[in-house]
Chains A and B, each alone.
Chain A
Amino acid sequence: MAPVERTDAQVVRDVLAGDRDAYRLLVRRYGDALHGHALRMSRNADEAADLVQRAFVQGFKRLHTCKDPDRVGAWLFRIAANLCKDHVRSRQRRRDVPLAPLADVVRGAADPEAEAQAAETRTRVWGALQALTPEQREAFVLKHVEGRSYEEIAAVMDLSVASLKMRVHRAREALKGLLQELA
């Protein structure tokens, strides 16, 4: 008989009861999701991994404050998302926003000139995205880069769909303004 997998709520209960090794199950279940978001917010693999590690450790320390253990994944995501925003904010304050090379975009250059122009456009657009405020960037990344639905984001971020839409709308307005400035 296959072993029955523990639910998130059971894992949380076990960890709080002293079985701290059970916490690794949450790291396995949600590590990729948190890391993907951190990577898209920071565009830096080392920073993303560091942020996710900090999020999980912080989550462990505050696990007793998680009100809905069935949704501990969303709760951990919020911790990671807040760390990402703080990180972006401090990086912008230091004005050392690195434009990470788009090394992940690899494609054949059938027309080198067109490809160079497309690469320049991509750099400009991603640069504008980096210049948004952390909150605007988070809203835009969740909606348009990660391609999540409003309902999904609202549930994860504990926001109403209406206020979330407002955030995304304002992020688009800001991005459009930045792109016009950079043009």
Chain B
Amino acid sequence: MKYDLHRHLDGELGTDALDPAARGEAEQWDRMVASFHREAPRGDAPVWLEQRVMAEIATLPERGPVRRALDWLTRPASVRLSPLAGALATAALVLAIVWMPNADETPIAPEADPVVYVQFVLEAPSATSVAVAGDFSDWEPAFALQDPDGDGVWSARVPVQPGVHAYMFLVNETSWQTDPNAGRYQDDGFGNRNAVLAVGASS
């Protein structure tokens, strides 16, 4: 499926923006999606649900007061402050930091976000376009690979932050392909394998 067709089904692209070949498929999908929506089984919860849930709960042992107190102490809670109290608390925190004795007076420059350029390569002689998408691009096929000499080897240098990243190639805007040369893979939970890339910080 072309990426534009997905965008259409996601409501990001009108039918008019699709090429004629994709338009027919889009209309088929639109009809199918409409029928799913129309024919989906519907029904409220059965009237006995509440009764059965409460009956089953009634058989469960009670949580003792100690356990309840422990739950209360360990449960995250939100704290509400008026703007004035918030401002005073912030000011107090800033003053405490400013007046805190510092043994090492050497100023520390803020660290810039490190970025490492990674070379992605895919051999795809019959492809007309290749892009890479991964968690570093929010899974958008944002980085196009190039094959300037037409030898079927597509490549691109992509800025990636250090860490472990999953990625896939999108070939011809339609087909998601796993990098056959990745050293590691992970199951994406949907029957596909993502390639995995470990990027160390550049020194």
- Interface of A toward B, CB cutoff 8 Å: 16-18, 20-21, 23-24, 27-28, 31-32, 34-36, 39-40, 43, 45, 48-49, 52-53, 56-57, 60-61, 64, 67, 100, 102, 104-105, 122, 125-126, 129, 133, 135-136, 144-147, 150, 160, 162-163, 165-174, 176
Report yes or no: A57 in contact with B35, Cβ–Cβ below 8 A: no
Q: Once bound together, how far apart are the Cα atoms of A160 and B138, in whole Å?
A: 9
Q: Once bound together, how far apart are the Cα atoms of A19 and B53, in whole Å?
A: 15
Rounded to whole Å, the gap between the CB of A177 and the closest CB of chain B is: 10
Report yes or no: A102 in contact with B60, Cβ–Cβ below 8 A: no
A-B pair count, CB < 8 Å, reads 130
7 contacts between A and B (CB under 8 A): A17-B68, A27-B50, A36-B43, A53-B56, A67-B75, A125-B35, A144-B33
Q: Which of B137-152 contact A (CB under 8 A)?
A: 138-140
Q: Chain A residues with Cβ under 8 A from B183's Cβ?
A: none
Q: Chain B residues with Cβ under 8 A from A163's Cβ?
A: 135, 139
Once A147-B37, A163-B139, A167-B190 are accepted as A-B contacts, the answer to whether A49 and B50 lie under 8 Å apart by CB is: no
Report yes or no: B62 in contact with A18, Cβ–Cβ below 8 A: yes
Rounded to whole Å, the gap between the CB of A33 and the closest CB of chain B is: 9
B201 CB–A CB distance under 8 Å: no
Rounded to whole Å, the gap between the CB of B136 and the closest CB of chain A is: 11
B72 CB–A CB distance under 8 Å: yes
- Interface of B toward A, CB cutoff 8 Å: 1, 6, 9-10, 29, 32-33, 35-37, 39-46, 49-50, 52-54, 56-58, 60, 62-63, 68, 71-72, 75-76, 135, 138-140, 176, 188-192
Q: Chain B residues with Cβ under 8 A from A171's Cβ?
A: 190
Report yes or no: A133 in contact with B191, Cβ–Cβ below 8 A: yes
A162: contacting residue among B53, B60, B139, CB under 8 A: B139
Rounded to whole Å, the gap between the CB of A86 and the closest CB of chain B is: 13
Q: Chain A residues with Cβ under 8 A from B41's Cβ?
A: 39-40, 43, 45, 100, 104
Report yes or no: B10 in contact with A64, Cβ–Cβ below 8 A: no
A40: contacting residue among B40, B58, B140, CB under 8 A: B40
Q: Which residue of B lies closest to A125 (CB)?
A: B32
Report yes or no: B45 in contact with A32, Cβ–Cβ below 8 A: yes
Rounded to whole Å, the gap between the CB of B141 and the closest CB of chain A is: 11
Q: Which 9 A-B pairs have the closest CB atoms?
A: A162-B138, A31-B45, A35-B45, A64-B71, A166-B139, A56-B53, A145-B40, A32-B44, A27-B50
Q: Once bound together, how far apart are the Cα atoms of A34 and B46, in whole Å?
A: 11
Once A23-B54, A27-B54, A176-B1 are accepted as A-B contacts, the answer to whether A145 and B36 lie under 8 Å apart by CB is: yes
Report yes or no: A145 in contact with B37, Cβ–Cβ below 8 A: yes
Q: Chain A residues with Cβ under 8 A from B49's Cβ?
A: 27, 31, 35, 49, 52-53, 56
Give me 5 other A-B pairs in contact (C-beta within 8 A), A20-B62, A129-B36 excluded: A16-B68, A36-B44, A102-B39, A162-B140, A174-B191
Once A23-B57, A57-B53, A125-B35 are accepted as A-B contacts, the answer to whether A169 and B43 lie under 8 Å apart by CB is: no
Q: Pick from A32, A43, A170 the residue with the most CB of B within 10 Å.
A: A170
Rounded to whole Å, the gap between the CB of B107 and the closest CB of chain A is: 36
Q: Chain B residues with Cβ under 8 A from A20's Cβ?
A: 57-58, 62
Rounded to whole Å, the gap between the CB of B106 and the closest CB of chain A is: 39
Report yes or no: B190 in contact with A24, Cβ–Cβ below 8 A: no
Q: Once bound together, how far apart are the Cα atoms of A176 and B6, in whole Å?
A: 12
Report yes or no: A170 in contact with B52, Cβ–Cβ below 8 A: no
Report yes or no: A104 in contact with B62, Cβ–Cβ below 8 A: no
Report yes or no: A172 in contact with B42, Cβ–Cβ below 8 A: no
Q: Chain A residues with Cβ under 8 A from B43's Cβ?
A: 35-36, 39, 45, 48
Q: Chain B residues with Cβ under 8 A from A133's Cβ?
A: 189-191
